[in-house]
Structure 1
Amino acid sequence: MHETLLVLHVTAGTVGLLLGPVWLVARLRGHRGRPAATGYQTAVALVAATGGVLALVSPGLAWLLPVAVLSEGLAVTGALARRRAWRRWPALQPRLLGGSYIALTTGVLVAETGSPVAWVLPALLGQLPIAVAKRRLAVAAA
């Protein structure tokens, strides 16, 4: 069962990493990007679910359970911010969805390198595209 969960976890993470930019490009071109958005949200949900189970059944990894919950929370809340037209959604959505994508990227880098830098680098590098998206949405909303 552990191997099956791990394969599903890695596959869903890969799909999420591929669909994130597809969704972004669709939005930049003025499309809703519904298939990519649905695929991304599903992939992140699967990563969070399988990651949570793997964290619970793997000795010493239970501390990763909040990371799984937070990642899913960022993705869902980011999608809802715009759909429900929350106050200040143009500032919130890029942070939330960007945070979910940064979480996926961090997971890959930490798993592959084990380096402590992998915990920080994606968050630092992700700030520029998040800032650009926030500015773009603020201008469009004005």
Structure 2
Amino acid sequence: MIRTSLLTIHILSGATGMLLGAFVMWRDSRLLRGGPVRTVSGRVYLVAVLVVCLSAAVLCAWFRHDLWWLVPVAAASYALAWLGRHAAAHRFRHWSHAYVHGQGGSYIALTTALIVVALTVDGPVGGAWQLLPWLLPTAIGTPLLEVWRRRLIPAAVAPVVRAPTRARR
């Protein structure tokens, strides 16, 4: 009963993160042009990733001790999501690197987890091929994140050109 409830929470929060992640990154790309971003959807994404990570840690601790090494991976995934949201809200030096690789890295982690579970845990992929679901999301996603970051920077940091104002007499 407890395991089923935890799995349900884990799956629902993971699905929420997967659905919201792409939307949040797309929306933030538009909003970041105007300054720091603090959105409800971004906060919901961050909470979804936190719940996924916490439920994964509890599931590992109680039911799958052999997967203990996923707990630090889950913590790093949440840290990436937090870094992305923090960078979008505060715009510190090199914020675009932190935002894109934090937000995008956490989404890659969610994608990797989904693909690994779907293909390797009682799935059709076995043997040496089981390594591919772990590596492909990062190998494909990281270059895409860098392209996104390079497109985001000119749009987000371009100076606002204003028409000259006349002095009043």
TM-score normalised by structure 1 residue count:
0.91
Return the offset for 1:33.
Answer: 7.2
Q: Is the 8 A contact 1:23 1:33 kept in 2?
A: no
What fraction of aligned residue pairs are identical, expressed as a percent? Answer: 34
Higher alpha-carbon Rg = 2
Stretches (4+) displaced over 3 A: 28-33
Q: Is the 8 A contact 2:83 2:98 kept in 1?
A: no
Residue equivalent to 1:28: 29
Separation in 2, partners of 1:9, 1:90:
30
- Name stretches of at least 5 consecutive residues in structure 2 with no aligned partner: 121-129, 159-169
What per-residue deviation string (whole Å, max 9, x for no partner) do you get for residues 75-133 of structure 1? 00111123222210112211111110000000001111112211101101112331122
Matches within 5 A, 1:6-85: 6-30=7-31, 32=37, 34-57=39-62, 58-85=64-91
Separation in 1, partners of 2:20, 2:46:
9
Separation in 2, partners of 1:3, 1:100:
25
Q: Which has the higher helix share?
A: 1
- Name stretches of at least 5 consecutive residues in structure 1 with no aligned partner: none
Q: Is the 8 A contact 2:25 2:103 kept in 1?
A: no
Matches within 5 A, 1:130-141: 130-140=145-155, 141=157
Equivalent residues, number: 142
Larger RCO, structures 1/2 (Cα 8 Å, 6+ apart) = 2
SS of structure 2 residue aligned to 1:87: coil
Measured on the aligned residues, the alpha-carbon RMSD in Å equals 1.6
SS of structure 2 residue aligned to 1:72: helix
TM-score normalised by structure 2 residue count:
0.78
